[in-house]
Amino acid sequence: MPGIIKNIVKNILPVAATVFLLLVLLFSVGLKNTTAPVSEEIIEETTESDTSKVEEPEPDLALSEEEIITDEDEEEPLENLMVPFDVENTYSYCKNPKCLIDENKENIVYSFDFTNGIPRSDDDNVYLFEFSTYEDDETEGKKAIQIASKAKEVSIEVPYEERYLFSRFAPAVKYEGEYILLENAKYVMNPEALAYNTCDYFSPDSKKGILLDANTIDKPELYDLNVKRAVYNIPLSFIIGETENESVPTIEYEYNGETYEFDGFMCGGFDSLISYLTQQGIHTTIIILNDWNKEHPEIIHPKARKRTGRSQYYAFNTEEEEGVRLMEATAMFLAERYSGGSEYGLVNDWIIANEVNQQKIWNYMDTKDIDYYTESFERSFRTFYNAIKSNYSNAKVYYSIDHDFNDNYGNNGRFFNGKEFLYKFNEYADKGGNYDWSLSIHPYPNPLSKVKFWKGSFDKTENAGVLTPMNLSSVTDIMKKTEFLNNKGEVRDIGITELGFSSGAGEKLQAAAFAYCYYIVENNEYICSFLMNRQTDDAGALKSGLRLGIYNYDYSPKYIKKVFTNVDGENRDELINEMLEVIGAGSLEEALSWAE
């Protein structure tokens, strides 16, 4: 009887109706094999000529005892959903975890489902923990930042704080006095929700681009090339710290309650460059490089602070709070400055570090452990990604691998294979919450001085030793796999952001190699850009015999200038015929088939 009363009160809101139905129900319960009672209103509506007969109400107007007792909206008692806690498989309970910034930009909402039962624990609570980049997923000594009650579907809200953009979050239950995590800690998965720039992504009508020579800004050596895309480097030692030029003040930047200093003079140079490219309608890519920084070594990983003669750039610090906070502040400073909200210009694409599978030279860390190395890099990459996307929602953020795809022959002391790094990165990215990272490749011929890259045989599977323009399918077939798709179920952006051919064996051969490579990329639906290395011959590369520029070191043009300028133009048939003659193909279709 109490259950009946409870359900009536819940479902019949008007007080008078509730009291009346309760009396009727009490009466009906005592009867067996009778229909539902008839209300007085129905009796009153009966005509005088029909007073001897009372019609039964329509079935949908009457509530049987069973219908009254059953409340479809009432949740199943929590106790009925409980299952024993399997401490060996603690991650088996939490399904569909999401960590999102709400539409009002006021809260972080962590949600998940208990689809395999709710584990019994010391109480009926779920505890949410926060972890910084430099912390492991360990609850010992930490306090939960929020508590929620157990339910089939759990949603936990936490007021947004600035540092949370780079934090990881995980739910836990208390079991035998200890907090046990139910899932890998997840980052905020929609940093773009915070962005002030939500403009569409700018994609030029050509995949052609160049590694820029800043000395040619606003000069014929640049605008004569009909450039659609440009890439440039920002070494962090150039901008972190006080200004050395007294004529330009130091920039003081507030982040997370601290003040960080950036070189106003050097930043002014990058401001001029990026704003010029933006004004010219040139799609701009910036590469963030963590070069040796004697003034601020804290931004360099503890295992990378031994300066070596070979190492050009160094791994980011993801293990110490001071270095991590400086990395976060730097990422936010650059992202805010170059997301199109000011006179400083817009960066469309960002590349974080360089050829990161080459841990001895281009992203130095003294380790052979690819898991340790990749997890650390992914955390630093995610820091820059979240900073960038929280300012310009449609920016693309890349990391790059070189052409050494499977050819270290098991010796991680030399370098990590690009393929293995790619798989490991995807694993750790998914572990922290899938997001829209992009991939940059540098498919140079092997050796680098080889210009006739189309000569020889090529393994076009993912087991290929070296990536070249002739076997791009070795990487694109991997990126098409379900487990590699982005969080929208799409194949990620893949760009060739560094590739060039030396003129040492002849300028027409260099030009033909560039043209052939460009048409291969133009024909490939999965490769979104080809940024040539480089606009002007580099002194360092010249020592190695590599003459990769469109211009010689003295800025005199090479034959490739004409080809580069017109390769994507209306009158390209003449260039194609010249190219076919050099590479020995009867038609462009035949040449392209070689690379399929």
Torsion, Cα of 217, 223, 227, 231 (10° steps): -10
What per-residue confidence (pLDDT) applies to 78? 80
Rounded-to-integer distance, Cα 410 and Cα 4, Å: 72
Side chain identity, residue 142: K
Residue 4 in this model has a pLDDT that exceeds 50: no
Local structure of residue 218 (DSSP, 8 states): T
Residue range 208-233, pLDDT digits in tens: 999 999 999 999 999 999 999 999 99
Cβ distance 496 to 467 under 8 Å?
no
Taking CA atoms, 593 is separated from 41, 446, 596, in Å, by 84, 21, 5
What per-residue confidence (pLDDT) applies to 23? 36
Residue range 403-425, pLDDT digits in tens: 999 999 999 999 999 999 999 99
Q: Read off φ and ψ for residue 261, nearest 5 degrees.
A: -110, 140
Q: Average pLDDT for residues 263-276, to the nearest whole number?
A: 97
Specify the range with the lowest mean pLDDT, choosing from 43-57, 161-175, 283-297: 43-57
How many whole angstroms from its chain centre is CA 534? 28
* DSSP-H helix ranges across 186-318: 220-223, 264-279
What value does the mean pLDDT of the chain take?
Answer: 89
| pLDDT band at residue 79 under the 50/70/90 scheme | confident
- Name which of 230, 214, 284 is nearest 498 in CA terms: 230
Rounded-to-integer distance, Cα 580 and Cα 281, Å: 32
The pTM of the whole model exceeds 0.75: yes
Rounded-to-integer distance, Cα 285 and Cα 277, Å: 10
Q: What is the 3-state secondary structure (H, E, C) of 370-433?
A: HHHHHHHHHHHHHHHHHHHHCCECCCEEEEEECCECCCCCCCCCCCCCHHHHHHHHHHHHHHCC
For a pLDDT cut of 70, what percent of the chain falls above it?
87
Q: What angle do CA 357, 363, 366 make, to 5 degrees?
A: 90
Residue 296 in this model has a pLDDT that exceeds 60: yes
Which DSSP helix (H) or strand (E) runs through 325?
helix 321-337
Local structure of residue 187 (DSSP, 8 states): E
Residue range 139-168, pLDDT digits in tens: 999 999 999 999 999 999 999 999 999 999
Residue 282 in this model has a pLDDT that exceeds 80: yes
Q: 338 is written with which tokens?
A: 């170059």
What per-residue confidence (pLDDT) applies to 43? 32
Cβ distance 533 to 473 under 8 Å?
no
Location of structure tokens 């507030």: 254
Residue 56 in this model has a pLDDT that exceeds 60: no
Residue range 494-525, pLDDT digits in tens: 999 999 999 999 999 999 999 999 999 999 99
Cis, bond preceding 534 (omega within 30 deg of 0): yes
Q: Average pLDDT for residues 307-320, to the nearest whole number?
A: 94
Report the relative pairing of strands 125-131 and 146-149 from DSSP bridges.
antiparallel
Rounded-to-integer distance, Cα 483 and Cα 465, Å: 23
- Greater pLDDT, 527 or 540: 527
Cβ distance 40 to 51 under 8 Å?
no
Residue range 92-120, pLDDT digits in tens: 999 999 999 999 999 999 999 998 899 99
What per-residue confidence (pLDDT) applies to 570? 87
* Residues near 91 by beta carbon (within 8 Å), at least 6 away in sequence: 181, 182, 183, 184
Q: Average pLDDT for residues 541-562, to the nearest whole number?
A: 96
Specify the range with the lowest mean pLDDT, choosing from 8-17, 298-307, 345-354, 470-479: 8-17
